[in-house]
Amino acid sequence: MSMSSVAGRITLLSIISSSGARVSCSSLTTASYSSHARMPSTLPCTLSVSGSDMRPLIGFTVSSIMAARAPSVLKQASRLASKSSLPATPRPSVPALLRVAAPSARSSCGRSYVTETRRDNAQVQVETAIRLDRKELERSGLTVSGQDGSTTHVSPMADVLRRATVMDEGQRPIYLDMQATTPLDPRVLDAMLPYYTGVFGNPHSRTHAYGWESEKAVEEAREHIATLIGADSKEIIFTSGATESNNMSIKGVARFFGRSGKKKHIITSQTEHKCVLDSCRHLQDEGFEVTYLPVNNKGLIDLEQLKAAIRPETALVSIMAVNNEIGVIQPLEEIGKICRENKVFFHTDAAQAVGKIPMDVNAMNIDLMSISSHKIYGPKGIGACYVRRRPRVRLDPIISGGGQERGLRSGTLAPALVVGFGEACRIAKQELEYDSKRIKFLSDRLLNGLLAMEHTQQNGDPEHFYPGCVNVSFAYVEGESLLMALKDVALSSGSACTSASLEPSYVLRALGNSDESAHSSIRFGIGRFTTEQEIDYVLKAVTERVGFLRELSPLWELVQEGVDLNTIEWTQH
């Protein structure tokens, strides 16, 4: 076979540590476009580690092999994989089950790379990977004692379940900011990689195989997204993310129906995402009228107020599915029914909902929906907008050009991002039930521990919220101070889009919270790779550091003495 026809990828070729530890290649993956012969797609290699100190590992990953270098690289990989003459220092024996866990290796900067290359084995069996054979673990002495004195058998390789991205071991905080973004699922990364190397065609090129190949992958991803929300694949329009989808939906519908001058009214709520509120304000500058519905102290809109706000000139109602700060779930089905009865289009910002709670656009009578990839363990920079075809939703495009995506969103698609988005949706559909139960368990554990502290309260509706978003106010503690004290935990005091602002959260103020309460609120985001041990660590850290910060507050001292702060007359200096 001519090596000039090879374009491929070598994953985790070889890693040699300065202390003598050796890791041979995990797998060699190549893609050949020769018309004569094909190389095997996988060259079998084994992963072996020797040496007691594995931290100063030096390694490399080759993403693409040029024709002139391919023979030497493959030869080097084979030589390193079979080489066994390096001296090995004694190390503790590791159970056999640990050696066959998900493949992982280290790079030159002490990072862990995790991949799972088999599509047919995409279902992560978390419990199987974490809880291994008791006898094997007892022989190795790898046990962790629980708070109740019981012994939990945990595999060190279970770490790969939460390290879905490249992590600097020992230097990165525990990640509990899942509403801002989620780590890339390793299965998503594996699905994307071929479209950065061999399959690089423009999906809109219809005259050759490179374009057809990319187009096929894009359409498969479109189908996965549609299946997740109960839609038809032709109703999925790819965008750069939920912000663009929100802009396209709101401005597009308003401008299309506003041209006649008869439909120039929009309804939304006071707790929407910033991009929705700003889109509505821009439309107000263009002569549209916008009604901002208030919410109750739990964050829910009043359906009767919604009915009363709808007029003959109302073009669109935009209510988000799950709030990004407090996790409140709005009654989408009831809202959709009201809109359908009044012949008004219903748009929902579902960036925090799709893939996390069951969503069905037909059952909920949703006409437009915004979806984000990186909120469901997919890549950043890609999203989608669901646009109903029957009854047809008409909207003006906000980006003009080549007429891609049904003429609604021009521009060349990025196949790798689209494929990653589709794979993330496929996994979300497959694991929705399991993820929901697991996140609910961790959320209850966290919330019960936080609310057991003095003067703490949950923000939002405790009965109608997504368990992965826990927002709690800690009275007599400044939220920013608590975030600084919890540098070993990645948290947020609100939306990542406005986290640089020192203004109190407009969402919490809409609930009726005081500025002091809003400033003392912290959002905890729990996700697919969060572990029970991390929740326990965070609970302990928050309890200790809230107590420390309160001891520094003179207000806390007065409260402890039984003084009612509302009776104090404060004077300005």
Amino acid of residue 522? I
Tokens of 555: 């207000």
pLDDT given for residue 307 in this prediction: 98
User: Cβ–Cβ contacts within 10 Å for residue 373, how many?
Assistant: 33
Q: CB–CB of 439/526 below 8 Å?
A: yes
Written as one string, the DSSP assignment of 80-122 is HHH---S---------HHHHTSS-EEE-TTSEEEE----GGG-
Q: Is 469 a catalytic residue?
A: no
What's the sign of the alpha-carbon dihedral 437, 439, 440, 446? positive
Q: Is the pLDDT of residue 39 over 50?
A: no
Q: Write the pLDDT tens digit of every residue in 393-406.
A: 999 999 999 999 98
Query: CA 313, CA 294: separation in Å to the nearest integer?
Result: 21
Query: CA 444, CA 463: separation in Å to the nearest integer?
Result: 12
Indicate the pTM of the whole model.
0.71
Q: Is the pLDDT of residue 467 over 70?
A: yes
**Half-sphere exposure of residue 4, counting CA atoms within 13 Å on the CB side?**
0
Mean pLDDT of 155-166: 44
Query: CA 405, CA 239: separation in Å to the nearest integer?
Result: 9
What's the sign of the alpha-carbon dihedral 236, 242, 246, 252? negative
Q: What is the CA radius of gyration of the chain?
A: 27
Q: Is the pLDDT of residue 483 over 60?
A: yes
Binning pLDDT at 50, 70 and 90, where does residue 158 land? very low
**Half-sphere exposure of residue 294, counting CA atoms within 13 Å on the CB side?**
6
Q: Write the pLDDT tens digit of every residue in 8-18.
A: 333 333 333 33
What's the sign of the alpha-carbon dihedral 46, 51, 56, 58? negative
pLDDT given for residue 565 in this prediction: 75
User: Cβ–Cβ contacts within 10 Å for residue 3, how many?
Assistant: 16
Mean pLDDT of 37-52: 39
Q: What is the DSSP letter of 347?
A: E
Which is catalytic among the residues 280, 385, 425, 497?
Answer: 497
Mean pLDDT of 79-92: 41
Top mean pLDDT of 158-167, 461-470, 502-511 is at 461-470
Walk me through the domains of the chain, giving residue ranges and CATH numbers. 1-91 (no CATH), 208-428 (3.40.640.10), 430-565 (3.90.1150.10)
Give the three-state DSSP class for 57. Answer: strand
How distant, in Å, are the alpha carbons of 306, 320, 416, 505 from that of 271?
14, 9, 34, 10
- Report cis status (omega within 30 of 0) of the bond before 183: no
